[in-house]
Amino acid sequence: MKTGTLTKPSTVNQSGLATSFSIQGSGFYVPEDIVTNEMLTRTFDTTDEWIQEKTGIRERRYLQNDMATSDMCVHASLDAIYDAGIAMEDLDAIVLCTTTPDQQVPSTALIVKEKLGAKNAIPFDLTQAACAGGIYSILFASHLLQNQFINNVLVIGAEVLSRYIDPADRITKTFFGDAAGAILLQKTGEGSGLLAWDLDSSLNMAVTLHGGGTARMPEGADLFTSHFIRMNGREVWKTATRNLPISIQNAVQKAGLQVSDIDHFILHQANLNIIKKTMRALDVPMEKTTVTIQEYGNTGAASLFSALHKSLEEKAIKPGDYLVISAIGAGFLWGSLCVKYTKNQ
């Protein structure tokens, strides 16, 4: 019997991009304060077993009152920059996705830039993609890297969702937590980085955060409660389980690959059962994905970065691997990226 080295299937670059990039570094930060399911049972008519069965979540983290989103971003960013091995002055742009900025103005990305001392970086804020923020921010950053003067882009996803939870709402209190994640994208040799992408959307008010905008408010509306997240979990489940598998298949096919060619899947950590159903729909074993929702809950725009960081730390993703990153967020906005992972030497 002849033996030989297995070769990767060939791909077709359908990203529309001429310049490739590598995920050169990653970092992740969660607050110290842990809120367990058992702690929630003291307030709500629920059990640890019920929460784990319905969501997969065991605990979540809440940010200390004297800290803000930008503080978490700085912690995660410093780790990503150190991991990438670049100097702070080599950072050309910062792309921050969050629905919980420090305030409306000034820019939270600018605050992070100043705290880091990244004097040459252009700050960008993406504030309304919610849990799909990781997809939108990576896609946006990959387009920035097409510019000849931009070589290193820091991409951050962060949320302090605990500040927007109705203390009397069992659903949101169960699901959401706080975290920040960051990756450093860097130009690299041809054939790596983004191979293809798929985005779609459909306006739906199943997840809302009305406060802070200019929407028409009905007479007598409670301005305080309008600052709470409201979520129709059943509608989220239906939309996510229907659209995520389709989006993933579209991105993979555009890259000239089969789903079976993908080495690892990074999915939005909204609900463990959504992740399991998506993987079953793709006929892919759970061993090919990384799950963080048990420890952190749904951390919104930070969620993809939590799973990506853990995958890289545990070496579940190796240089040369094909990777799919997929998420859905309030709106609804959803999408998938098909990436060939490399790391510059």
Q: What is the DSSP string of 242-292?
A: HHHHHHHHHHHHHTT--GGG--EEEE--S-HHHHHHHHHHTT--GGGB---
326 with 265: CB under 8 angstroms? yes
CA distances (Å), origin 52, targets 40, 44, 60, 149 = 12, 15, 12, 48
CA–CA separation, 25 and 82 (whole Å): 7
Q: Is 73 a catalytic residue?
A: no
Answer for the pair 252, 262: CB distance below 8 angstroms, yes or no: yes
Q: In 3D, which of 16, 24, 15, 17 has the Cα closest to residue 185? A: 24
In angstroms, the Cα distances linking 139 to 97, 147, 186, 246 are 12, 14, 13, 19
Residue 97 annotated as catalytic: no
Which residue is catalytic, options 268, 271, 309, 338? 268
Out of 131, 152, 264, 309, pick the active-site residue: 131
Based on the residue annotation, tell me whether 152 is a catalytic residue of this protein. no
> Which is the catalytic residue, given 151, 250, 298, 338?
298
DSSP string over 78-89: HHHHHHHT--GG
Annotated catalytic residues are 131, 268, 298
